[in-house]
Chains A and B, each alone.
Chain A
C-alpha cells in the first residue's frame, strides 16, 4: 500500500466530512435556536395546543413544535410544519405561512435535499419581504447562505450571510449575530482561511457566552476545535471539542454530541489511534441514525470504512464504504460520491485487486471533474477575498496553494508508479483522458472566472460596508463609555460660565450705584476679568463638544499638524473623568513627562485621539484595583519620529494573551464591557499613519505601550 497516498487521503477526509456536517448543523441552529429536544418545552406546547382555538396563536404553537422536533425527529417536525402551513393559509396569517415554509426548508436541508430546501426558503423570504418582517428576512438570508455554501457556491453564501448579519447588527439581535459570525467563520474555514475563521468564531463564542446560550457555546467550541484540527494543532483541537462534547451532553443536544464525537474520531484517526477513533465514530453514527441526517450518516460510514482499511479489516471496510456510496448516491452528494470512489480504490489496491482499483479511480476522476465548477469558484473566491483584505496574506495563501498543488501532483505521480507496475496500458488511457479533460477545463474556467469576478466584486463591496459598520459601532461603544467623562468635563466650564455671568450682572448693578471712583475702577476690572473667564470656559466647552463629534464622526478625516503634547493631555483628562464616572472609587496618580520642543506632526486627530483613549483606558483598567496605581504618559522626539509611551504599573499581560491583543474581537474584559475592537483598530490607525505600536509587559509589574509616529 502506498503510504503517501493514504496520508493525503486522511487529510481530505478531515476537511470534507467535518465541514458538511458543520454546515448542516449550523444551519439548523440558525432557525432553531435550540437543537436539543426540550421535553419540557414539547410537553407544555402540546398541552397548550390542546386548548388552543383555531387562531394565529395555534399556528405559532404548531410552528414552535415543528422547531422543537427539528433536531431530533424530522418527520414529526415536517408534520407540524405542514399543519402550521394549512392553518395559516386558512387564517391568511402571512407570518405563519412564511414561518412554515422556512421550517420545511430547514427540514429538507437537514435531510440533504438542497434544491427543495432553497425553493421553500425563497418562498418564505418573498412573504417576509412583503410584510416587512425584518427578523424573518435576516433568518431566511442566513438559511439561504447555508444552502448555497452546502452547494459549494461561496460567493452567494457569503453575500447572504453578510446581508443577514447587517440586519441583525441593525436590530441588535445577539443570538442571530452569534449564528452569522459562526456561519461566516465556517465558510472561511472551508476556504482554508484559518485566521479569519478563528476570528469570526471567537466573536461568535464571545457573544454566545455573554447571552449564555449553551447550544451555541457548544457549537462554537466544536468548530474552533475543527479549525485547530485542520491546522494540525491536536491539543487545542481536543481541548475545544471535548469542551463542546461536555456541554452538549449536559444539555442533551444530540446533534452536537454527534458532531463532537465525529470530530474526536477524526482527531484520533489523525493521531493514529484507530480504536478510539472507531469508538467515537460509532457513537456519532448511533445518534445520526436516530436523527436521520443522511449526509452525516454517509460521512460517518465513510470514516469508519477508512479506519477499517487502516486496520486491514477489508471486508468491514468494503461494507461501510459501499453503504456510504449508496447513501451518497441517494442524496446525490457529488462530494461524498467522489471520496467514496477514491477510498474504494484505495481499498481495492490494498487487497491487490488492481483492475477494480482502476475502475474506481476512473469513477473518482469523473466525479471530481463534474465538481469542477464548484471547486473552481471556491478557489477563486478564496484568493480574491484575501487579496482584498490583506495582500500579504494572499501571498502566503498562494504559496500554500502552490505547495498543495505540488503535493497533489506528487501524489498523482506516486500513484502512477504503483499502477504502472500493474496496468501500464490502462494508465496510458488514463493519461490521455487527463489531457482531454485538461483542455475542456481550460475553456470552461475562463468563462467561469469572468462570471465569478463579477460576483466577487459585489460581495467585496458588501464586506466593506459591513466592516465599516462594525468600525462605527466600536466608535459609538467607546463614545458611550466616555459620555460620563464628557458630561463632567463639560459641566465644569458651563458652571463657570453661568456663575461669572451671574456675578457680572450683580457687579454691573453695583457699578451703577457706586459713587467711589476707585471702587468703580475695581468693579470694572473684575467685570472684565469675569468676561474673559466666561469666554475661556465657553471655548473649553466648545472644544470638548468638538472633540466628541470628531471622535464619533465616521469616514476619513484630514491630516493636520498637531501638537501631540496637547492631544495627550486632553485625552488623559477625558479618559480619567470617564473612568471616574464609570468605576466606583477609581483613582490613580498620573505622571506626565512631555518633551519640550516636540515638533508638530501631521496626523488625523480624531483617529490618533481614539488610539490614545483606547490605550489610556486599557491602562486604567489594568491599575484600577491596585494600591499606588500610577499611569505615566511620556512623549519623546527622535530625529524622524515622535514617540508616545503609555505606562502603567498594573496587572501586566500574560504572554499567551499578548500575542492576541491586536486581534479583532479579542478582549479580556468581562463580557459586555469591551468590544474587543479597540486595540485592533488602534493598530490599524497607527499603521495607516506609517507608524507602529509595540507592547512591553511583565505580568504583575505592568505594561508599556509605545506608539511611534513618523515626523
Chain B
C-alpha cells in the first residue's frame, strides 16, 4: 500500500482526490491523508512513524508556510520521503527551485489523475 499525504489549502481537494482514486483506495493500493496547511502537515507528520508515510503531495502556493519551505523541512527531517510538488503556476522558477530542493516530481494543475497515478507508481517502485 502506498501511503500518500496531500497538502493543499483548498478543502475540496480531499473530496476530489478520494473520488478520483476511489478504486485505488478500495483495492488498498493507495491510502490518503490530508492537511490544509504546511504547518499542520508538519505537526501531523511529527506524530507518525517513519514507515507510515511513503509520499507527500504538496501544493506550492499556500498562505503561511508555502510548499517549497515545507519541502525543505521534510528533506531535512525525512530524507527518504518522496515529495511531489503541485502548482498552478508551472513557471520554471518554481520548478527549478522544487527540483533543487529535492522534489521527485512537479505536477501542474489541473491535475491529470491517471498520469499522476503512473508517476506515483514509477517513483515508489524505484
Contacts and interface: CB of A to CB of B under 8 A. Distances in A.
A590 B12 contact: no
Interface string A544-587: 00000000000000000000000000000000110011001101
A249 interface: no
Contact of A584 (B19, B93, B110): B93
B63 interface: yes
Interface stretch (A58-66, A496-504, A593-601, A604-612): A496-504
A666 B12 CA distance: 43
Interface of B: 10, 12, 15-16, 19-20, 61, 63-66, 68-69, 88-89, 93, 109-110
A587 B64 CA distance: 7
B89 A581 contact: yes
A500 B61 CA distance: 22
A507 B65 CA distance: 36
A491 B15 CA distance: 18
B93 A503 contact: no
Given A491-B109, A526-B19, A496 B12 contact: yes
A353 to B, nearest CB: 81
A580 B19 contact: no
Contacts of A537: 12
Contacts of A533: 12, 15
Contacts of A498: 110
Interface of A: 488, 491-492, 495-496, 498-500, 503, 507, 526, 529-530, 533, 537, 576-577, 580-581, 584-585, 587, 589-590
B21 to A, nearest CB: 11
15 contacts: A488-B89, A491-B109, A491-B110, A492-B10, A496-B10, A496-B16, A498-B110, A499-B20, A499-B110, A500-B16, A530-B19, A580-B61, A584-B93, A587-B65, A589-B63
B88 A492 contact: yes
A577 B88 CA distance: 11
A488 B110 contact: no
B88 A491 contact: yes
B69 A495 contact: no
Contacts of A590: 63-64
- 6 cross-chain pairs, A with B, having the tightest CB-CB distances, nearest first: A495-B110, A503-B19, A587-B66, A499-B16, A580-B61, A491-B88
Contacts of B109: 491-492, 495
Given A488-B89, A491-B110, A533-B15, 7 more contacts: A533-B12, A577-B61, A580-B61, A585-B68, A587-B64, A587-B65, A587-B69
A120 to B, nearest CB: 55
B108 to A, nearest CB: 11
A499 B12 CA distance: 11
Contacts of B69: 587
A541 B66 CA distance: 24
Nearest to B97: A585
B64 A589 contact: yes
B116 to A, nearest CB: 12
A581 B109 CA distance: 15
A590 B89 CA distance: 22
B68 to A, nearest CB: 8
Contacts of A529: 15
A402 B12 CA distance: 70
Contacts of B10: 492, 496
B20 A503 contact: yes
B28 to A, nearest CB: 18
Contacts of A587: 64-66, 69
A703 B66 CA distance: 25
Contacts of B89: 488, 581
Contacts of B110: 491, 495, 498-499
A341 B45 CA distance: 91
B10 to A, nearest CB: 6
Contacts of A495: 109-110
Given A580-B61, A587-B65, A488 B12 contact: no
A500 B16 CA distance: 7
B106 to A, nearest CB: 16
Contacts of B15: 529, 533
A581 B88 CA distance: 10
A380 B19 CA distance: 75
A498 B61 CA distance: 21
A605 B16 CA distance: 34
B15 to A, nearest CB: 7
Interface centre among A491, A526, A587 (most CB of B within 10 A): A587
Nearest to A506: B19
A499 B20 CA distance: 9
Nearest to B65: A587
A491 B19 CA distance: 20
Nearest to B61: A580
A491 B63 CA distance: 17
Nearest to B66: A587
A587 B15 CA distance: 27
Nearest to A526: B19
Nearest to B18: A526
A581 B93 CA distance: 12
A488 B20 contact: no
Contacts of B16: 496, 499-500, 503
Contacts of B61: 488, 577, 580
A499 B110 CA distance: 9
Contacts of A576: 63
Contacts of A585: 68
Contacts of A499: 16, 20, 110
B109 to A, nearest CB: 6
Nearest to B68: A585
Contacts of B65: 587
Contacts of A526: 19
A537 B88 CA distance: 17
Nearest to B39: A589
B61 to A, nearest CB: 5
Nearest to B8: A492
In this complex, the member of A495, A537, A576, A581 whose beta carbon has the largest number of chain B beta carbons within 10 angstroms is: A495
B8 to A, nearest CB: 10
B13 to A, nearest CB: 9
Contacts of A581: 89
Contacts of A530: 19
Nearest to B17: A499
Nearest to A502: B20
A576 to B, nearest CB: 7
A576 B64 CA distance: 11
B93 A488 contact: no
A498 B63 CA distance: 24
A491 B10 CA distance: 12
Contacts of A503: 16, 19-20
A291 B65 CA distance: 65
A580 B60 CA distance: 10
A495 B68 CA distance: 22
A584 B19 CA distance: 34
A529 B12 CA distance: 11
B56 to A, nearest CB: 19
Contacts of A577: 61
A135 to B, nearest CB: 38
Nearest to B60: A580
A79 to B, nearest CB: 58
